[in-house]
Copies of this chain bind each other. A is one copy, B any other.
């Protein structure tokens, strides 16, 4: 196995933290996203979506989605459990992860990619060059406030996003909050539950990944 990675992008960091929690180290290749390496024929042959992370398997297959990579790792290395211990638990964790992606990661990306200088034709990741839409940046800023509101409410009576155990949902939310700082969309300081939870999850050794 080999991980196609990028040190500053949020999506591959979700996988790196997941691996760190499993105490796994994989051979990794840095993909030069600023230099456009994801658009080269060699990279496209592996992942036509032109995104990282990619987990290249010894079989020649490539897993090109964050959660699919984590699920594959979880099946091979079940301890510590990060994605649920039975069918119901796994389903509920998957719902939280999707919700964090939809309301958090995609909303921040919407705000960031539709306004950041240097991303003028990169309003979405992927092979298409798409113009920024200022109204979409504004929509993203509004949506991320909704994300913070429900996350804070959820954390009021749960130590971690899915309950008493640290899971992939916490990894996803941690990466989201750190990504938000780059877009100057940090959680409002009055949301004390997010602050309490962030203090705990960001001080785990895996958060350095």
Mark A residues whose CB is within 8 Å of B: 48-49, 57, 59, 61, 63-65, 67-69, 71-72, 75-76, 87-88, 90-92, 94-95, 98-99, 103, 123-124, 126-128, 130-131, 133, 135-136, 139, 142-143, 146, 150
Q: A68-B91, A76-B87, A133-B135 are in contact. List 13 more A-B contacts (CB 8 A).
A: A49-B99, A57-B88, A61-B92, A65-B94, A65-B98, A68-B94, A71-B87, A75-B90, A124-B143, A128-B146, A130-B139, A131-B139, A136-B136
C-alpha gap A133/B126 in the complex (Å): 21
Of all chain B residues, the one with the shortest Cβ separation from A68 is B94
B98 in contact with A68 (CB, 8 Å):
yes
In the assembled complex, the CB of A159 is this many whole angstroms from the nearest CB of chain B, namely 18
Residues of B within 8 A of A127 (CB): 146
Q: Secondary structure of the A side of the interface?
A: helix
Residues of B within 8 A of A71 (CB): 87, 90-91, 94
B72 in contact with A95 (CB, 8 Å):
no
C-alpha gap A88/B63 in the complex (Å): 8
B91 in contact with A69 (CB, 8 Å):
yes
C-alpha gap A94/B128 in the complex (Å): 22
Residues of B within 8 A of A87 (CB): 71-72, 75-76
